[in-house]
Amino acid sequence: MAVSPHAFPPRKRRPSAGAFVSPKLADINLVKSLLSLSQEISSFKPFQCLLKRNSVSSINKSKLLSILFDELIKNPASVFFSPSTLLCFEEMYIALQRIKTLLEDCSNGSKMWMLMQIQVLSNNFHELTLELSTLLDIFPFKEIELSQDVEELVVLVRKQCGKSKPVVDPGDVFLRREVLTMLDRIEKEIVPDQLKLKKVMEYLGLRDGSSCREEIESLQDEIQNQVDEKSKSDIVSLIGLVRYANCVLFGSSTASKPDHRRQKSTSDLTIPADFRCPITLELMRDPVVVATGQTYDRKSINLWIESGHSTCPKTGQTLIHTNLIPNRALRNLITMWCREQGIPFETVGNNEKVNSVKGTKAAFEATKMTVSFLVNKLSGSQTMEAANGVVYELRALSKTDSDSRACIAEAGAIPILVRYLGSSVGLEHPNLQVNAVTTILNLSILEANKTRIVETDGALNGVIEVLRSGATWEAKGNAAATIFSLSGIHGYRKGLGRKTRVIKGLLDLAKDGTTSCQKDALLAILNLAGDRETVGRLVEGGVIQMVSGVIDELPEEAVAILEAVTRRGGLAAIAAAFNIIKKLGVILREGSDNARESASATLVTMCRKGGPEMVAELAVIPGIERIIWEVMGGGTARGRRKAATLLRILRRWAAGLDLDTNNVVDSSNMITMTVGTSRTILQA
């Protein structure tokens, strides 16, 4: 029975030739292994387009060799072999293993890259065939008793291998030349001929949007297999070409379906605090260490630095350099934890594989052509269904890299996207509203696009309308994430904080939304709370009551907001937070290190500003001093300092002394507002 190429998992990195070793088996067991291996190769389907003759030849030779090995197993006289015969079989095992690997790689790999490497791959098949020929030349016919038919068959295979030559189909060579010509013309800003492009894609079996997206993923994986920068850049150019072909040829087949990618497989699990990125509060996929010694997820800290920041988000210290050092020990621990929990774990996402490679002129021009095609198509869309397919493509493209985000905004897409943010669109076409607001969210990652969005007539009001009355939770959550992203600029933060609709929309979403939406809203509120004037409006709007309602489910986010609000909100905020003191005591006892740090800082502020009544409320919590001692003995450095300050305040109160809070030294830095753009944006 033929085996589908997809039955074999794709390799992230190909093994070197030295990785293939013989199984070190003796006699009949070695022959059984050879039979099993040759049958595996025989079960492959021949390639449908590229290297078809090479694959057919390798598969057929393996079928014939399997007959030989089957004969040896059935012949009792062949149970024991001489050392030279065993050595021949061991080398044959290695050769077949390499043939199997080559077939697997070609079956699972990128068709475009396979086309570019067509001559190299053909040579590889030829070299392996010659290796088999050499082994069959020294095959010990005299030592092993074979039937005449099988012996003649082995001789036939040996002759076929000996006459083998590198074979490249002329059609493959012509197709490769066509693709290279297209890339050259794109680099010169000449749009590819659609008819020729369609023929190329059909020849490679890329006949719809789904196969194109799979090809793009294969190309992204292929980057990890390359060691030289030129090959990586060539692959980036091919990705641009396939994206363009997908949109131009198959765009109508990619109408949006509900996007569930924001749902985390870890949503129902308690992630260890050390495994969470301090920026996003989500599980780190690629932990790296910055100059201050703090660890962040690479995606998050890259966005922070690319947005123009030169400080450490957690400590506020200036980064003396922006080098990111992989935290391999922590990554291994996270991998082990994920394996124990049954959670799929990828250390690096596909986008980062591409973004880490220097772009090419051809890739950039292909992106511009793709964007121009989509925006023009969207401008002329006659139906909402047609518009939905195009906006979905823009959404996917806006997620890929900074060049794509810049091109989309420069092409004038934002004013067109605003049309699809209204509540009337949401009621009749909820997917279209989700795709539109998510595209704007993705565009807002780029600093220059924040200004474009705010200055585009109706864009900000449209996002706020989705926040307040979006048709789905996903739309509302992405609107909140957009507010968060825009509030990263101080001037916009103040402006957003003055809008009652923004405050109320975020608070309502934080209270009533799904867990993912609540996190988006809480991060936006946390960012807005960096402005003292906005904190007053948050307190008036009921932020303390909201925090009280969500603190049990989302303690880290809730306590971080409470710390910011009590620090900047004055006595009104302190009075409103009076009833939360006992919940903060629970966080001190049971919370994560980050949550305990924020809880300690919040209680210090409340006790200082709220007076003896606040301290008395804290003091009646059973075992509070022991709990504070535990915080002082572990956790973050800032958390330990805050706990020590809190203990001094408690002891002065217990001794009947004036709190004299001005003399209670707090050496820690003010809260540093963290930025969660990577969690809310890149998963959109």
Per-residue pLDDT reduced to its tens digit, 24-60: 666 778 888 888 888 999 999 898 889 999 999 899 9
pLDDT at residue 147, as a whole number:
78
In tens, the pLDDT along 183-201 reads 999 999 999 999 999 999 9
Write down the pLDDT at residue 327: 81
Can you tell me the mean pLDDT for 355-376?
A: 84
Residue 327 amino acid letter: N
Average confidence score pLDDT of the chain: 82
Give dist(CA 575, CA 613) in Å, integer: 10
44 pairs with which residues across the strands? 3
In the structure, what pLDDT confidence band is assigned to residue 320 with cuts at 50, 70 and 90? confident
CA distance 317 to 640: 19
The set of residues, in sequence order, having a beta carbon less than 8 Å from that of 267 and lying 6+ positions away, is 515, 516
Domains assigned to the chain = 27-168 (no CATH), 171-250 (no CATH), 284-341 (3.30.40.10)
% of the chain exceeding 70 in pLDDT: 86
User: Bigger pLDDT: 542 or 155?
Assistant: 542
Q: Tens digits of per-residue pLDDT, 611-666? A: 888 899 889 999 999 999 999 988 788 889 999 999 999 998 888 766 554 444 34
Q: At 587, is the pLDDT very low, low, confident or very high (cuts 50, 70, 90)? A: very high
Q: How far apart are CA 445 and CA 681, in angstroms?
A: 7
pLDDT higher than threshold 90 for residue 158: no
Helix, strand, coil shares, percent, the chain, to 5: 70, 0, 30
User: Which pLDDT belongs to residue 290?
Assistant: 86
- The larger pLDDT score, comparing residue 513 to residue 293, is at 513
pLDDT number for residue 504: 95
Q: How far apart are CA 532 and CA 573, in angstroms?
A: 12
CA distance 497 to 513: 21
Bridge partners (DSSP) listed for residue 3: 44
Min mean pLDDT across 151-155, 337-341, 452-456, 572-576 is at: 337-341
Each residue's pLDDT tens digit, 194-230: 999 999 999 999 998 888 988 998 898 888 778 788 8
| pLDDT score, position 80 | 64
Backbone dihedral region for residue 572 (phi beyond 0: left; psi -120 to 50: alpha; all else: beta): alpha
pLDDT of residue 439: 95
**Percentage of the chain exceeding pLDDT 90:** 34
Q: How confident is the model at residue 678 (pLDDT cuts 50, 70, 90)?
A: very low
What one-character DSSP code corresponds to residue 253? G
CA distance 675 to 485: 8
Residue 417 has pLDDT above 60, yes or no: yes
Q: Does the pLDDT of residue 255 top 50, yes or no?
A: no
- CA 131 to CA 596: how far, in whole Å? 65
pLDDT at 591: 87
Average pLDDT over residues 542-558: 91
Helical segments of 456-592, H only? 459-469, 473-486, 490-497, 500-512, 515-528, 532-541, 543-550, 555-568, 570-576, 581-590
CA distances from 236 to 176, 230, 314, 599 (A): 16, 10, 34, 47
What tokens were used for 494?
């103040």
Residue 283 DSSP SS3: strand
Residue of 569 and 647 predicted with greater confidence: 647
Q: Is the pLDDT of residue 402 over 50?
A: yes
- pLDDT, one tens digit per residue, over 54-97 is 999 899 988 988 888 888 888 756 556 778 888 888 888 888 98
pLDDT digits (tens, 9 = 90+) for 494-511: 999 999 999 999 999 999
Please count the residues of the chain.
684
Categorize the per-residue pLDDT at 480 as very low, low, confident or very high, splitting at 50, 70 and 90: very high
The per-residue pLDDT for 659 is 55
Res. 456: pLDDT tops 80:
yes
